[in-house]
Amino acid sequence: MPSAGDQPTSVVYTDRWIRYYDFVVLTLSTRLVWGCPEPRLVDLYKRNLGPRHLDVGVGTGKMLDTAARSAGRAGLDELHLLDINADPLKLTGQRLRRFSPITYQADALGTWPLEDNTLSSVCASLVLHTLPDDGRGFAAKASFFDQAARVLVPGGRFFGSTIVSDAPFARRNPLARVLMSVYNRREIFTNSRDSSKDLRAELEARFTNVRVRVRGCTAIWEADAR
């Protein structure tokens, strides 16, 4: 089983830090730094959340919780949570305990411990830019897309968001440029070669009806499983 030390990004997802995640990341950073406010990301859930859902890289579960409370989404039939770090899994599991979530402490770039063609939706919100890329951008994260395609039923929805670096599509304000540089040096982010074009290519190789939009420097995608 992976431990919190397996990835450099894990250092910021400890119990001490994660309690500030909602305010620092979701309230402030999404709006002021990455140019895609939290309500847009919640709307992404509302449009795509299915009855048998998997969240990968769970954060604190706030956006999923907000979306699930909206009209018609109060009754998730089956909820799965996957993260390499124990503390986010614990916090999100407690937040969403009304759904009796099934949790997996596992590497998102490894083989997910779920069966083929069993889920109606998979979301990775603000996750891909933190996964190791060995300098090859999304090509190094191909196994992530493979796993999402594997576990979804035909027509299931794969959706999410990630911070990208490509100009002119990714509009980075001065603060975004500084923070992205610092985060990449510290390996909190590994997205210096992540582009919305490459993201679309990885999705189109595995999914249909692919939609990729960039807000600020945040790429938002929605796609259907084949």
> What is the CATH classification number for the domain harbouring 57?
3.40.50.150
Instruction: List helix spans (H) across the chain.
Output: 15-18, 21, 38-48, 62-68, 86-95, 142-151, 174-185, 196-204
3-class secondary-structure state, position 188: coil
108: in domain = yes
Domain that holds residue 150: 8-225
56: in domain = yes
Q: How many helices (H) and strands (E) are present in the chain, helices listed first?
A: 8, 7
Give residue 111's pLDDT: 98
Give residue 167's pLDDT: 67
218: in domain = yes
* Beta bridge partner(s), residue 121: 53, 157
168: in domain = yes
Q: pLDDT tens digit string along 99-150?
A: 999 999 999 999 999 999 999 999 999 999 999 988 899 999 999 999 999 9
Give residue 16's pLDDT: 63
1: in domain = no
Element holding 152 (H helix, E strand):
strand 152-163
3: in domain = no
* Beta bridge partner(s), residue 110: none
Q: How many domains does the chain have?
A: 1
Residue 122 burial (C-beta neighbours within 10 Å; 0-12, 13-18, 19+): buried
**Distance, CA of 159 to chain centre:** 8
2: in domain = no
Give residue 8's pLDDT: 45
**Distance, CA of 116 to chain centre:** 20
Q: What is the pTM of this model?
A: 0.91
45: in domain = yes
